[in-house]
Amino acid sequence: MESPRIRRALISVSDKMGLTAFAKGLNAAGVEIYSTGGTRAHLEKEGIPVHDIAAYTGFPEMMDGRLKTLHPRVFGGILCRRDTLGDMNAVAEHGIHCFELVVVNLYPFEATVAREGATDEEAIENIDIGGPSMVRAAAKNHEFVTIITDSGQYSLVLEQIQTTGTTTLQLRRSLARDAFNHTAAYDTAISRYFNEHDQDGPFPNTLSVSYRRSTVLRYGENPHQQAALYLDRKSGGPSVVTSRQLNGKELSYNNLLDLDAALAIVRAFDRPAAVVLKHNNPCGAALAESAVDATRKAMEGDPLSAFGSVLGFNCPLDAEAAEYLATPGLFVEAIIAPEFTPEALEILKTKPKWRENVRLLHCGPFGTASSRWSVRPIEGGALYQEADVLPDPEKLWQIVTEKKPEPRQMDDLRFAWEMVRHVKSNAITVCKDRMLLGAGAGQMSRVDSVEIALKKAGGRSVGAVLGSDAFFPFPDSVEVAATQGIAAIIQPGGSRKDEMVIEAANRYGIPMIFTQRRHFKH
């Protein structure tokens, strides 16, 4: 069957961006337009001929607009199959007009509930009923009906109508797919709202998530894997996904993972912070009084591993820091910061040898972490948990050794403890002067992680502190740390051999804190 000529359009939209030009184009192409109250008033104001849906159905809008389009003369005109005799006989018998084009976008539910101070009543009144019903009906009958759910689709549809008087089946099917995705995401947003406000406990019986594709990537973790980046429709605050790229090549899958990890680390600090990421683990990190000092200290933590790294900042990256990064011999893959000063941007775009390729991402001002919950797919399902983003209450900390940490050591212990939650377990951090000197990550044995972190730190471990993401099962880690001059230790405690571990720390004169909380990162 040939594509049906588009003679009538039904338009009912909340967001009227681009509508005037589109509707004028339809009118010029000879398409009759039918519309509901607010949309009809908008079109009439623009001088565009339009039929009132209420006049067509013989049934007025009522209940403050809750009831507008839910009528057989509307849905019959959308759902009728032009090649089915019974459908067409019903259309003729009941005076139903066939609609070949339906243009609907939905009440702004997500924007409403995201607004500070939004009430439950406002949320409920912004749950669209007729809109999703029309969208689904038109998408179901896409063999005969074109469905538009986004103003970005106007130009392509109008071009085809102006050229041929109709649309291709290929386009209608593509728009139908988008329409079903649209209503699915809309329903997900509503179910999320009720789960968050009315669910008994934090875990709903059905977990609904909705992501919108942001971009297709060159490949995944490896070149033989396809990949794409998706935006969480509910996400708020700065993130890698919402950042604006200012320079450089297309971001890779692995770049994105590292940049996300970098943001998670630096957002935890109030003072200027810089972090150096390699393979999703920090190989350098530091706090300082300025961006350039934080950068220098972070890069000097593990200079060998820092080559080809990803950097993250919680402060504006200024000219001084950019000049340091332009030093010959340094090479950086990507940088994310809340802001790049114009001078820094000019330096990074012109001075380093790697200037054309370095990805520079502007993420905007920091707030709290955008999500308190994390979803992790596994084969056959998913794991859902509260994200490990909240600071630990120091009132739980206990000094369990005879020797107490000095005030300067306490600052370093806090830094080491914050850093250890961002290193893959088994995780060990060696820190001094609020600078990461060495990290031991992802080892099957905790003492192996200790040895790796100390090897990375080298002679700088003398007078440094050591953090562990979980308890020491044996005193061997303390004994190894003591031989390399570690001056204080912070760990959760909770081992059956805690007394032996404490005795070893006392024997070497190393103060040790139990935090009562672990930070595994698997």
Q: Which residues are catalytic?
A: 140, 279
CA dist 454 → 424, 486, 510, 512 (Å):
16, 9, 16, 17
Three-class secondary structure of residue 293 per DSSP: helix
CA dist 104 → 35, 227, 378, 386, 421 (Å):
10, 31, 37, 37, 47
DSSP string, 133-189: HHHHHHHHTTTT-EEE-SGGGHHHHHHHHHHHSS--HHHHHHHHHHHHHHHHHHHHH
* Nearest-angstrom CA–CA distance, 315 and 336: 10
Using CB atoms within 10 A of its CB, is residue 381 exposed (0-12), middle (13-18) or buried (19+)? exposed
* Nearest-angstrom CA–CA distance, 144 and 137: 11
Contacts of 248 (CB under 8 A, 6+ apart): 334, 356, 357, 358, 359, 360
* Nearest-angstrom CA–CA distance, 473 and 493: 9
Q: Which residues of 342-378 are buried (b: 16+ CB within 10 A; e: fewer)?
A: eebbebbbeebebeeebbbbbbeebeebbbeeeeeee
* Nearest-angstrom CA–CA distance, 514 and 522: 22
Q: What token pair was written down for 217? A: 């990537």
* Nearest-angstrom CA–CA distance, 149 and 141: 15
